[in-house]
Amino acid sequence: MSTASSQPRTVARVIPALNTSDGAGVRLRRSLGSGESTRLDPFLMLDEFSSVNPGDYIAGFPSHPHRGFETVTYILDGHMRHEDHLGNQGDLKSGGVQWMTAGRGIIHSEMPQQEEGRMRGFQLWINLPAKEKMKPAGYKDILPEEIPVKILNDGVSIKVIAGSLDYDSEITQGPIAGLTTDPLYLDVQLPAGASVTIPISRGHNSMAYLFEGTLGIADHATMFPTHSGMVLTDGDHATFVAGVSAARFLLLAGRPLNEPIVQYGPFVMNTVAEIEQAIMDYQAGRLTSV
Ligand code: CO
């Protein structure tokens, strides 16, 4: 952080999370993806679900298709079961992540495996470049113990779900790497009043999504409220400061694709013709055939 060219990121805009529901009636908060103007290339959508009321989540996400992007589900509290047309079955428990590449097509269900208690987590949609949208579907379950956690002296902790964290000349590598969009996906916990400076690749789009406490970015002058996404300006690092209580946020960054986006529900392609093809393929039962 000492080079003359080092440029801090600040907040370019705030995207509040809006209450909505999806699947068979799961209540959630949507920041990215609540409209076309709230995408952040390569990120298409970010949903937070959090409830102790089973009526808000019990119906889950019965069988549905995707084409053209990746979905990342991160469970903080609870137990979900995933099944897809490839025969994959996964149990997603507290602290675990499921990274699914829809590619050409996947048909899957995501159903709660609990009838009471707290269900809390996130689903992030990451776009695929045109040349990868029709690749075969892929799927990876990441167990909680496979996600490295960097603990700093003052009680700051950073989970590295995707990409790598370069801190104090030590690199912490997350379990997901090598993607065209080069995503960084961190879960950062700050004790009350604590701060941390995190390197973020210059030129990559980045957003912090705050889900506990209040958070200052670059300074204490503005404290942003819980359940909001703060899109950052360009630069090579950002400094985060917790307010009077502990703060917890996701830090996302990725290489923008700069390609046209045409979305129709669970299909995200580059052209209207490709979307029409996806709908025809799904209706004809060939969405997923290679
Ligand atoms: Co899905």
Contact 17, 30 (CB under 8 A): yes
Q: Is the pLDDT of residue 52 over 90?
A: no
- Cα of 58 vs centre of ligand 1, distance in Å, is 16
How many Cβ atoms are within 10 Å of 83's Cβ, its own excluded? 15
Whole-angstrom distance, CA of residue 203 vs CA of residue 12: 14
How many Cβ atoms are within 10 Å of 30's Cβ, its own excluded? 23
- Cα of 144 vs centre of ligand 1, distance in Å, is 21
- Cα of 82 vs centre of ligand 1, distance in Å, is 9
Contact 211, 249 (CB under 8 A): yes
- Cα of 19 vs centre of ligand 1, distance in Å, is 19
246-257 pLDDT, tens digit each: 999 999 999 999
- Cα of 194 vs centre of ligand 1, distance in Å, is 36
Least confident interval from 32-36, 77-81, 189-193, 257-261: 32-36
**Residue 219 token pair:** 């300074």
Per-residue confidence band for 168, with pLDDT thresholds at 50, 70 and 90: confident
Per-residue confidence band for 219, with pLDDT thresholds at 50, 70 and 90: confident
Whole-angstrom distance, CA of residue 32 vs CA of residue 10: 18
- Cα of 87 vs centre of ligand 1, distance in Å, is 15
Average pLDDT over residues 284-288: 92
**Residue 119 token pair:** 């269900």
Contact 195, 155 (CB under 8 A): no
Per-residue confidence band for 5, with pLDDT thresholds at 50, 70 and 90: low
- Cα of 196 vs centre of ligand 1, distance in Å, is 34
C-alpha separations of 97 from 49, 123, 174, 249 in Å: 15, 10, 12, 16
C-alpha separations of 106 from 210, 222, 241 in Å: 30, 42, 40
- State percent of the chain over pLDDT 90: 80
Strand, coil or helix: 132: helix
Question: CATH assignment of 11-254?
Answer: 2.60.120.10
Contact 172, 161 (CB under 8 A): no
**Residue 255 token pair:** 């290489």
- Cα of 50 vs centre of ligand 1, distance in Å, is 17
- Cα of 285 vs centre of ligand 1, distance in Å, is 17
- Cα of 23 vs centre of ligand 1, distance in Å, is 8
Q: What is the dihedral of CA 27, 159, 208, 109, to 10 degrees?
A: -30
pTM of the predicted structure, to 2 decimals:
0.95
Of 33, 14, 41, 46, the C-alpha closest to 253 is 41
Whole-angstrom distance, CA of residue 215 vs CA of residue 213: 7
Per-residue confidence band for 290, with pLDDT thresholds at 50, 70 and 90: low
Radius of gyration of the chain (CA): 19
The total number of residues written for the chain in this structure: 290
- Cα of 211 vs centre of ligand 1, distance in Å, is 22
Write the DSSP symbol of residue 103. T
User: Whole-number mean pLDDT of the chain?
Assistant: 93
Average pLDDT over residues 3-21: 88
How many Cβ atoms are within 10 Å of 181's Cβ, its own excluded? 24
Write the DSSP symbol of residue 282. H
Q: Is the pLDDT of residue 4 over 70?
A: no
What pLDDT score was predicted for residue 2?
Answer: 47
Pairing of strands 26-30, 61-66: unpaired
Number of alpha carbons in the 13 Å side-chain half-sphere of residue 54: 10
